A and B are shown apart, each in its own frame.
Chain A
Amino acid sequence: MDAEIQVQQLNAWFGSTQALHDISLDIQEKHTTAIIGPSGCGKSTFVRCLNRMHETLPNTRVEGKVRIGDLDIYARGISPVSVRRRVGMVFQKANPFPTMSIYDNVAAGLKLNGFRNRRELDGVVERSLRQAALWDEVKDSLKKKSGASLSGGQQQRLCIARALAVEPDVLLMDEPASALDPISTAKIEDLIFELKKQYTVVIVTHNMQQAARVAEFTAFFLMGNLVEFDKTEKMFTTPSDKRTEDYITGRFG
Chain B
Amino acid sequence: MSRTRFHQGLDELKQKLLTMGGMAEQAVDRAVLAFQNRDISLCERVLRDEANINAAEREVDEMALDLLAMQQPMAVDLRFILACIKINSDLERVGDQAVNIAERVMDMVNNPRADLNVDIPRMASIAINMVRDALNSFLTADAEMARSVLERDDLVDNMNHEIFEATDFAMTHSPETHRDALDTMIVARNLERVADHATNIAEDVIFWVRGADVRHHANKA
Find out whether the CB atom of A248 lies under 8 angstroms from the CB atom of B2.
no
Interface status of B211 (Cβ within 8 A of chain A): yes
In the complex, identify which listed stretch (A65-73, A151-159, A236-244) lies at the interface while the others stay far away: A236-244
Residue count of chain A within 8 Å CB distance of chain B? 15
Q: Mark A231-253, 1 if CB is under 8 A from B, else 0.
A: 00000111100001100111111
Smallest CB-CB separation from A239: which chain B residue?
A: B75
Interface size on B (CB < 8 Å)? 14
Whether B75 contacts A250 by the Cβ 8 Å rule is no
A249-B2 in contact given A237-B211, A238-B211 (Cβ < 8 Å): no
Residue from B3, B7, B72, B76 having most chain A Cβ neighbours under 10 A: B76
Let me know if B75 and A248 touch, CB within 8 A. yes
List A residues 200-253 near B (Cβ within 8 Å).
Answer: 208-209, 236-239, 244-245, 248-253
The answer to whether A250 and B76 touch across the interface, beta carbons within 8 angstroms, is no
Partner of B75, one of A209, A238, A253: A238
List the B side residues contacting A237 at CB < 8 Å. Answer: 75, 78-79, 211
What is the total of A-B residue contacts with beta carbons within 8 Å?
36
B74 at the interface (CB under 8 A from A): yes
Task: Report Cα–Cα, A245/B75, bound state, in Å.
Answer: 6
Q: Given A237-B79, A237-B211, decide whether A208 and B74 contact each other with a Cβ distance below 8 A.
A: yes
One digit per residue, 1 when the CB lies within 8 angstroms of any chain A CB and 0 when it does not, for chain B 69-85 equals 00011111111000000
Q: Are A249 and B77 in contact (CB under 8 A)?
A: yes
The reply on B218 being an interface residue by CB < 8 A is no
Complex contact A250–B6 (CB within 8 A): yes
Residues A249 and B73 in contact, CB atoms below 8 Å apart: yes
Decide: A250 near B1, CB < 8 A? Known: A237-B75, A245-B75: yes
Across-interface contacts of B3 in A (CB, < 8 A): 249-251
Q: Nearest Cβ in chain B — how far from A232, in angstroms?
A: 11
CB neighbours (8 Å) of A252 from chain B are 2
Neighbouring B residues of A208 by C-beta, 8 Å? 72, 74
Contacts from B to A (Cβ < 8 Å): 1-3, 6-7, 72-79, 211
